[in-house]
């Protein structure tokens, strides 16, 4: 009875919220006050900006993603909180830049991620939604900690299926055989984590399908399970590991792309296509269970693609790991028939950090006053295409050996330093970062660099490093060396 009462209170609060924002909402969006939406996040791994049809891909076919994008709102300038996977995912889950709580590097490669993970005092969006009455599930790649206190089931997810580390082989017949060989040799604590069995809620399982297909199957199962109680909305975080390495595709998917002569590109395309096939099955399941109309589907990648593995970030410069556009700008859309306008392009810069407050608002979740967030609630700004952060910055900061690469976007301008020289671009007109405007607008550049330097002062030292050598170099090179990162020549 209390649960029903709480749901009624939440629905009333949501209706009041949208009523108060009618000036910012279109007619189609105001339908959303009737019921809190299901939220389905579909996250790919290392997908290039230009590797989906709705972002201009010509050789890779993604008809199902394209259909969803066309029937929803597409984001032209969506950015991740970091240009590689672990910190990026930490940002998604916490709504904060990973630099603020020491998660600037991927977790250690050692067994069980060195026994560490994202600090438990950082409340995940899954915990907020679970507390708000959502049925929650995580499927696929986790990469946020493997010990019990960091496990998805202890970070707000009722259900988990997948793997806890940063990647996995795709063909069970191969990874199971390799795992058994290493286990029989007594390598229990040193078996390569890409070979370990997948798990369901902490219990190892025998996956028999190509892993991308297995994750799609599990997403369908979760949706069907959720449909049994339609009074309770669901939150599903579906984190595909495709098209992340190892580059492994099915014969049938490779056949679809026989027109691509470059072998790396062909395998990569087939891996993306497997995701697209899975998305069709998931959408069909939402239709079958009569949940599609009130499900917010959010699609994006965790960072840019790797050209050396066949990805393309065209027309952007840079690749995964870079603070250039191609490193952390992602293809992205919202699809929600009852709440998001169809056929629209939102042109203003957004961050994946914005998902936390947006989801919380839609769910009428009560975020604690002590919770610090770096994102914005996007929803009120979508209908009239107004910026959610006029005059405010989106940051990217990547530490490399002996230097820190940094960039910041404010409205149409982007300041960037990938060596020891700051440059300025009008990123709306010049997404390829070709025409440096630092001499034309020196004051704008200085203001942006100064603002980012202030932001950096509240960053914390890394709690871990991906490999021991990185930690040694951090100390040897007196990192992060911000006195060099934010240095500018004197004005004439």
**Residue written as tokens 């069970």?**
172
Q: What is the CA radius of gyration of the chain?
A: 22
Instruction: Tell how strand 344-346 and strand 422-426 pair up.
Output: unpaired
Where are the alpha helices (H) located in 289-366, listed in sequence order? 325-328, 355-362
Q: Which residues pair with 400 in a beta bridge?
A: 403
Q: What is residue 150's DSSP assignment?
A: G
Q: With contact defined as beta carbons under 8 Å apart, do 162 and 139 qualify?
A: yes
- Cα 203 to Cα 209: distance, rounded to the nearest angstrom: 18
- Two tokens at 210? 């190509």
Cα dihedral across residues 14, 16, 20, 24: positive or negative: positive
Of 88, 86, 110, 309, residue with least CA distance to 193:
110
Closest CA to 481 of 394, 393, 424, 405: 405
Catalytic member of 10, 82, 85, 399:
85
Residue 12 contacts by C-beta under 8 Å, 6 or more apart in sequence? none
Integer CA distances (angstroms), 414 to 36, 138, 170, 428, in order: 36, 34, 38, 9
Q: Which of 82, 143, 244, 335 is catalytic?
A: 143
Distance CA 472, CA 398 (A): 17
Asked about 143 being catalytic, the answer comes back as yes
**Residues 63/53, Cβ–Cβ less than 8 Å:** yes
φ, ψ of residue 288 in degrees (nearest 5): -60, -35
Candidates 364, 379, 395; CA nearest to 459 is: 395
CB atoms under 10 Å from CB of 23, counted, come to 8
Instruction: Decide if 485 contacts 403 (C-beta within 8 A).
Output: yes
Residue 330 pairs with which residues in a beta bridge?
78
Distance CA 315, CA 302 (A): 18
Please indicate whether residue 168 is annotated as part of the active site. no
CA distance 286 to 276: 15
Question: How far is Cα of residue 50 from the mean position of the Cα atoms in its chain?
Answer: 16
Active site residues: 85, 143
């Amino acid at each position: 009875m209390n649960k029903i009462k709480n749901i009624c209170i939440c629905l009333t609060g949501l209706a009041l919220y949208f009523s108060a924002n009618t000036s910012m909402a279109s007619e189609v969006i105001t339908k959303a006050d009737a019921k809190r939406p299901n939220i389905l996040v579909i996250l790919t791994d290392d997908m290039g900006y230009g590797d989906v049809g709705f972002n201009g891909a010509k050789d890779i076919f993604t008809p199902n993603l394209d259909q969803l994008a066309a029937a929803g709102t597409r984001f032209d300038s969506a950015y991740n909180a970091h240009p590689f996977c672990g910190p990026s995912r930490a940002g998604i889950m916490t709504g904060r830049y990973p630099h603020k709580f020491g998660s600037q590097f991927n977790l250690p490669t050692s067994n069980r991620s060195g026994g560490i993970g994202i600090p438990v005092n950082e409340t995940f969006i899954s915990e907020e939604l679970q507390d708000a009455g959502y049925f929650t599930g995580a499927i696929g790649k986790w990469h946020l900690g493997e010990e019990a206190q960091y496990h998805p089931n202890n970070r707000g997810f009722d259900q988990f299926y997948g793997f806890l580390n940063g990647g996995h082989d795709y063909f069970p017949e191969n990874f199971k055989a390799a795992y058994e060989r290493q286990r029989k040799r007594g390598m229990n604590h040193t078996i390569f984590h890409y070979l370990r069995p997948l798990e369901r809620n902490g219990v190892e399982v025998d996956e028999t399908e190509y892993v991308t297909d297995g994750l799609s199957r599990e997403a369908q199962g979760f949706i069907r399970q959720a449909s049994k109680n339609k009074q309770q909305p669901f939150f599903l975080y579906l984190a595909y590991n495709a098209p992340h390495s190892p580059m492994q595709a099915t014969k049938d998917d490779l056949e679809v792309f026989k027109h691509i002569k470059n072998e790396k590109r062909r395998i990569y395309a087939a891996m993306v296509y497997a995701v697209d096939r899975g998305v069709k099955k998931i959408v069909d399941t939402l239709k079958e269970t009569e949940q599609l109309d009130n499900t917010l589907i959010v699609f994006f990648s965790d960072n840019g693609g790797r050209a050396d593995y066949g990805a393309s970030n065209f027309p952007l410069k840079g690749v995964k790991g870079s603070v250039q556009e191609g490193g952390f700008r992602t293809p992205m859309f919202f699809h929600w028939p009852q709440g998001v306008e169809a056929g629209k392009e939102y042109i203003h810069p957004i961050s994946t950090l914005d998902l936390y407050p947006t989801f919380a608002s839609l769910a009428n979740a009560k975020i604690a006053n002590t919770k610090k967030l770096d994102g914005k609630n996007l929803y009120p700004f979508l209908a009239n295409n107004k910026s959610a952060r006029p005059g405010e910055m989106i940051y990217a900061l990547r530490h490399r050996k002996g230097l820190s690469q940094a960039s910041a976007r404010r409205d149409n301008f982007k300041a960037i330093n990938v060596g020891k020289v700051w440059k300025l671009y009008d990123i709306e007109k010049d997404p390829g970062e070709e025409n440096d405007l630092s001499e034309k607008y020196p004051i704008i550049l200085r203001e942006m660099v100064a603002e980012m330097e202030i932001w950096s002062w509240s960053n914390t030292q890394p709690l871990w490093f991906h490999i021991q050598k990185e930690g040694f170099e951090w100390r040897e090179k007196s990192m992060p060396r911000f006195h060099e990162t934010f240095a500018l020549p004197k004005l004439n």
